[in-house]
Structure 1
Amino acid sequence: MAEYLLGLDYGTGGGKACLIDAEGRVLAYAFREYPIIIQHPGWSEHDPHLYWKVACEVIQECIAKSKVNPRQIRGIAVSSALPNLVMVDRDGNPVHLAYNLMDRRATKEVAWLKSTIGEERMFALTGNPVDDHPMLVNLLWEKNNRPESFRKVFQALTVDGFINFKLTGKFTVNIGSAAFYGVAWDIRRHKFNEDVLHEIGLSKDLFPPAFSCEDVIGEVTEEASKATGIPQGTPVCAGAVDFCVSCVASGTTAEGDVQMNLGTCGNFGIVHKTTDFLREMLVCPHAVESRTTYVTIPTTTTGGQLLRYVRDNLAHFEVEVEKILGVSAYDLLNLEAEKVSPGCDGLLALPYFMGERSPLWDPYARGVIFGLSLSHTKGHIVRALMESVAYALYHNFEIVQSAGWKINLPIVFNEGGARSRLWRQIITDVFNVPTVFLKNRAGAPYGGAILAGVACGVFPNFQIAKKLAEYVDPLEPSSKNHKLYREYYKLYRRLYEHLKEDFRELARLREEHVRREEVSS
């Protein structure tokens, strides 16, 4: 009898599903965008009700496209982009909008934690910087700013945990996603430090039990079956962080393997066993051997989101052409950027449109277009933004190199804007290392389907991921371009240092203006 597996993934910009067979072949794929809600500067949220609506739609679409018998689906795994936060009441209903990873409102809570618990103590416990605004930081913001509604919160879930609840009726978290609770989460023991929880005033009862990524945590309920079309009793596994299952999809499973994504965020990840974590970067348990293996994930907050911003705000012509001719607006923007030489004729960008994560950890940083002149075109701006993401990621890569960790080359490009050969060549030249492109780019939900296969016994282990990964379009760095980019990279680094305090002053002025408007209204 045929066997099928389903992966679901929730990014910052939308939700995806992928249905595969026991040979790893993609039978169907579906995607739905959902809006990013920006109510105030520094806030970034989703409507959590859309998460389940999207799940039902993409699952039903995959079943319809593939024409498989859903009774032969052997397992499901869900992943999401972290940190995120869905607060629910006793019945599992959302309390307020959901936080996504670009939210940076809780700056006062971060400062309080640094002074009360201390950065050294938190890093020693969590392996992660508190500046990332992990979920406990946001819970403290809720407690401090919306105490009445905070009292309604029964469980603090991740997005993947929320979907797993909708599927199984059980509140759970996987240990990969749980790393993004932060502050009091012991990343080596995979549990909360209750002393720290007590010190910061959060009850351990707010948090669900944690499971290994490969564990089966429940089965599809009758109610979920009616909503999705997945038969009641279908096993659901604990799931993982989106980047980790995208690593599974690309065969990035061995120590030293490196994968890069250009999704909403720009990031790369390196697989390792050491628990001597890098202070400047995010780390979480891998989906593979999740109790003993980790992925360090240097991240710039806005990667592919920068091109989405250009598309939505500056590319009305390209969008209209897409509607008429069916040619992607992104491809048209890419063609314009290809006409521009490396270095963009003196145009330089800082990509910090929503603050910056590693290694700067600066929620006040904002985007900058530096050196703009009347000779520059839209193509210059697009390429400058591409180059800025490359510089931001290279800043992190330098730190990984200096740590002396094992690095297996080539770097594997996978999701999002990595479809752009130009962008891949820019990064190849900036990093000065060879790269390859994953042929099957179904991404995180594909890796989630493989994870479900391991969890449910369809696959004996994760060697299947290495077997299925096929790499194409190898690129070699240009020494000439790397030398040029090194000079612009030095200026890129200095530019941020020159503006660092000005970003804070800009935030102060903005907040003061908002307060005046609130008083006057």
Structure 2
Amino acid sequence: MEYVLGIDLGTSSLKGIVMNQEGSVEETASTNYVTFHPQSGFSEQDPKVWIEAFHEVLTELLAKKPALKENLVGISFSGQMHSLVVLDEQNQVLRNAILWNDVRTTEQTQKITEYFGDELLKITKNIALEGFTLPKILWIQEHEPDAWLKVRHLLLPKDYLNYHLTDKITTDYSDVAGTLLLDMQKKEWSTEILKEFNIPREYLPDLKESNDQTGILNHEIKQKYGFEREIKVFAGGADNACGAAASGIFDEEMAMLSIGTSGVFLSFEKNVTSDYNGKLHLFSHVFKNGYYSMGVTLAAGDSLSWYKNTFAIDSTFDELISEIPTSSEGLYFTPYISGERTPYADSKIRGSFIGIDTRHQRGHFTRAVLEGIVYSLKDIQVLMRNVSKKSFTKIVSVGGGAKSSSWLQIQADILNIPIVCLKTEMGPGFGAAMIAAVGIGWYDSIIDCGEKIIEYTEPIYPIEENVKRYKKLYSIYQQIYPATRSICHMSRN
């Protein structure tokens, strides 16, 4: 039996998934690492910890599955999007990676918008936001000019790990679609953007499809672990694209709702001509000529974690959710505790509880947080419906929001669409394993692979009475952002 390894280089941890030729997961392993916040709004990681984490995970997997030494044939990756890694002429890391959730780049984002305006949207299909990669490059140019003089390579996180394994510097279309440097229509680095911001083309990696081979596992690592076969390494993809593949989002009647640190509502797109005018992201998928649109709630699961750690530190998430009442009794929560991205590209907005009165107990607050997170994701669903007339027959719920039947029912009722979960949820790392399986030749395509191995639970259907109630409550929720925006902006100045 042959095996492939999918690696998910996430924001807080690195995970490894071993998949066999039949599409079954045989072993998993993961390890966490630290994020640094040297100043308010800064978020950084040392890329060396990703390398250390990979070797920890690989060591654990080999201990669990010694047969990997004889029969591991392929590796691919999923990676956190947008984060910037800079290397010098000797391919050494020059500074900590600036992560996707770093918001220091407001001035650079405004500069990009002023210089390019609508042309940026035409080229990249996205507007400039603090989270993207280009503003981080400009920040280094402006604030660390000595470091910029030494830069020779600009990489995304998974591509730095790929380089460590293969000695090749490459990337894939799904990941670079989130850099603001890719001409989405031409599928090449944008010469106009590179010229405008003085970024040499030779600093950027070669572009690959996700299942293209980038190299083979280098001799040093192969010898260190005693691998017997040549192990092919494939480009991989962005975490959201890999998560969508692992959830079987291959047609326009399905959507994925993912609640992790952030929240994502994602839909398949047939072509790059879909025009959301920057209201939603439009990115390349992990298969050729495939695309997806998505909106992001910056603090979805993070809002629930903040709430638990602040007000219920001694309770588990299960205990919190088990005590929620059938209604939040007029209490609302907006999950803008880290600013917001969709539908409000607003780094200064902040969260709020609205409607507190004396009858509210902890359970009401918990329910309001759960509902508020789903309301914010419904905002994205509504955008897709209004802009492109999208109508979904089912939604695949993944992440933390898929672990509670109560929360799943809230999702079905607020979104008014049947909700299914994955029978075996492994996240973006499973999508990375699928990419490796296709690259090896076990399957004809990512879609072929997904259709053969992905299975869903029975649907959770909306309850008509709840749908009617939430329709009214959601219309009230929609009024909170415009009512609190100026207050939040004044308090942030």
TM-score w.r.t. structure 2 length?
0.94
Q: Pick closer, same or farther for the CA change 1:361–1:236 going to 2, 3 Å.
A: same
User: Displaced runs of 4+ in structure 1, greater than 6 A?
Assistant: none
Match of 2:468 among 483, 486, 508: 483
- CA drift of 1:208 comes to 1.0
Cross-structure match for 1:335: 322
For residues 223 and 401 of structure 2, what CA distance do their matches in structure 1 show?
36
Q: Does the 8 A contact of 1:261 with 1:267 survive in 2?
A: yes
Match of 2:453 among 451, 458, 468: 468
Cross-structure match for 1:219: 216
Q: Pick closer, same or farther for the CA change 1:228–1:42 going to 2, 3 Å.
A: farther
1:195 aligned to 2:179? Answer: no
In structure 2, give the amino acid aligned to 1:236.
V
The aligned runs of 1:66-465 (5 Å cut-off) are 66-118=65-117, 120-182=118-180, 184-225=181-222, 233-274=230-271, 275-278=273-276, 279-289=278-288, 292-318=289-315, 329-336=316-323, 339-342=324-327, 344-405=328-389, 407-462=391-446, 463-465=448-450
Q: Pick closer, same or farther for the CA change 1:335–1:395 going to 2, 3 Å.
A: same
Q: Pick closer, same or farther for the CA change 1:311–1:152 going to 2, 3 Å.
A: farther
Q: Pick closer, same or farther for the CA change 1:60–1:18 going to 2, 3 Å.
A: same
Identity %: 27
SS of match in other structure, 1:471: coil
- CA drift of 1:88 comes to 2.2
Root mean square deviation of aligned Cα? 2.0
- CA drift of 1:491 comes to 2.5
Greater CA drift, 127-136 or 484-493: 484-493
Identify the structure with the greater helix proportion: 1
Identify unmatched segments of 5+ residues in structure 2: none
Q: Does the 8 A contact of 2:71 with 2:229 survive in 1?
A: no
For residues 506 and 382 of structure 1, what CA distance do their matches in structure 2 show?
26
Q: Does the 8 A contact of 2:265 with 2:380 survive in 1?
A: no
Q: Pick closer, same or farther for the CA change 1:417–1:424 going to 2, 3 Å.
A: same
Cross-structure match for 1:512: none
Q: Deviations over 1:205-237 (max 9, x none)?
A: 221111111100111112333566656741110
- CA drift of 1:476 comes to 0.9
SS of match in other structure, 2:257: strand
SS of match in other structure, 1:361: coil
For residues 377 and 46 of structure 1, what CA distance do their matches in structure 2 show?
39
In structure 2, give the amino acid aligned to 1:486.
K
Q: Pick closer, same or farther for the CA change 1:158–1:437 going to 2, 3 Å.
A: same
SS of match in other structure, 2:457: strand
Q: Deviations over 1:380-428 (max 9, x none)?
A: 3332221111111111111111234554421111233321222221111
SS of match in other structure, 1:181: coil
Identify unmatched segments of 5+ residues in structure 1: 319-328, 509-521
1:56 aligned to 2:40? Answer: no
Q: Deviations over 1:52-81 (max 9, x none)?
A: 111111222222223323231121111112
For residues 64 and 440 of structure 1, what CA distance do their matches in structure 2 show?
23
For residues 506 and 228 of structure 1, what CA distance do their matches in structure 2 show?
55
In structure 2, give the amino acid aligned to 1:81.
Q
Paired residues, number: 490
- CA drift of 1:297 comes to 1.5
Q: Deviations over 1:295-343 (max 9, x none)?
A: 111111112222232344433312xxxxxxxxxx22222223xx3223x
Q: Pick closer, same or farther for the CA change 1:477–1:52 going to 2, 3 Å.
A: same
- CA drift of 1:502 comes to 2.6
SS of match in other structure, 2:8: strand
TM-score w.r.t. structure 1 length?
0.89
Q: Pick closer, same or farther for the CA change 1:366–1:445 going to 2, 3 Å.
A: same
Greater CA drift, 121-130 or 91-100: 91-100
1:503 aligned to 2:488? Answer: yes
Q: Deviations over 1:249-300 (max 9, x none)?
A: 22222344322211111112111113223121112111122xx110111111
Q: Pick closer, same or farther for the CA change 1:221–1:418 going to 2, 3 Å.
A: same
For residues 16 and 304 of structure 2, what CA distance do their matches in structure 1 show?
23
Q: Pick closer, same or farther for the CA change 1:400–1:377 going to 2, 3 Å.
A: same
SS of match in other structure, 1:267: strand
SS of match in other structure, 1:217: strand
For residues 229 and 388 of structure 1, what CA distance do their matches in structure 2 show?
51
